[in-house]
Chain A
Amino acid sequence: MATAINVPGALPRGRQPLIPSAVIATLVLILTEVMYFCALISAFNVIRAQLFGNWAPPGDVRLPVAATAFNTALLLASGVTVWLSARAYKYPEGRTKAQLLLLVTITLGACFVGFQGYEWVKLVQYGMTMRSGIFGATFFMIIGSHGIHVLAAVLVMAFLYMRMLQGRLSLGALQAMQVFWLFVVGVWPILYRLVYFA
Chain B
Amino acid sequence: MATQGHAAAANGHDAHGHGDHHELSFVQKYIFPLDHKIIGMQYLFTGILMGVIGALMSYAFRMQMAFPGKAVPPFGLITPEFYNSMVTNHGSIMIFWFAMPVLIAAFGNFLIPLMIGCDDMVFPRVNRLSYQIFLLSAIVLIASMFVPGGGFGGAWTSYPPLSASSVYNQTPYGAPMWLFAVALEFVAFLLGGINFITTLMNSRAPGMKMYNIPIVIWMIIIASILFMASVGPLIAGAVMLLFDQTIGTGFFDPVRGGDPVLWQHLFWFFGHPEVYVVLLPAMGIVAEVLPVFARKKLFAYKTVLWTAIATGVLSFVVWAHHQFVAGIDPRMANIFTVTTLLISVPVTEMLFVYIGTLYGASIQLTTPMLFAIAFIAEFLIGGVTGIFLGASGSDIYFHDTYFVLAHFHYTFIPIAVIAVFAGIYYWFPKMFGRFMNDFWGKVHFWGTAIPFNGIFLPLFYTGAAGDHRRSFDLLNFPELRQPNLIFARQFATISLLVMLGFQVIFFINFFYCMFRGRKAGANPWNANTLEWVAPSPPPHGNFAELPNCHRGPYEYSVPGRESDYWPQNEPAT
Contacts and interface: CB of A to CB of B under 8 A. Distances in A.
A100 interface: no
Interface size class of B (residues with CB under 8 A): 35 or more
Given A19-B201, A131-B247, A38 B232 contact: yes
Nearest to B227: A32
Contacts of B201: 17, 19, 21, 24
A39 B262 CA distance: 10
Interface in A84-124: 90, 92
Interface string A19-58: 1111011001101111111111011001100110000000
Contacts of A131: 247-249
Contact of A50 (B2, B240, B259): B259
Given A10-B546, A17-B201, A130-B247, A43 B236 contact: yes
B123 A25 contact: yes
A194 interface: no
A88 B520 CA distance: 55
Nearest to B208: A14
Contacts of A28: 193-194, 197-198, 225, 228
A3 B120 CA distance: 10
Contacts of A47: 251, 257-259, 262
Contacts of B8: 1, 3, 170
Interface stretch (B11-19, B168-176, B297-305, B386-394): B11-19
Contacts, number: 190
A28 to B, nearest CB: 5
B247 A35 contact: no
Given A20-B7, A47-B257, A171-B3, A36 B232 contact: yes
Contacts of A59: none
A62 interface: no
B313 to A, nearest CB: 14
Interface of B: 2-11, 13, 17-19, 113, 118-120, 122-123, 190, 193-195, 197-198, 201-203, 206-207, 225, 228-233, 235-237, 239-240, 243, 247-251, 256-259, 262, 265-266, 269, 541, 543-546, 548
Enumerate the 10 nearest inter-chain pairs by beta-carbon distance, A residue then B residue, closest first. Answer: A14-B206, A35-B232, A170-B6, A39-B233, A134-B257, A2-B118, A36-B232, A172-B10, A17-B202, A20-B7
Interface of A: 1-11, 13-17, 19-22, 24-25, 28-29, 31-40, 42-43, 46-47, 50-51, 90, 92, 130-131, 133-134, 137-138, 141, 145, 168, 170-173, 176
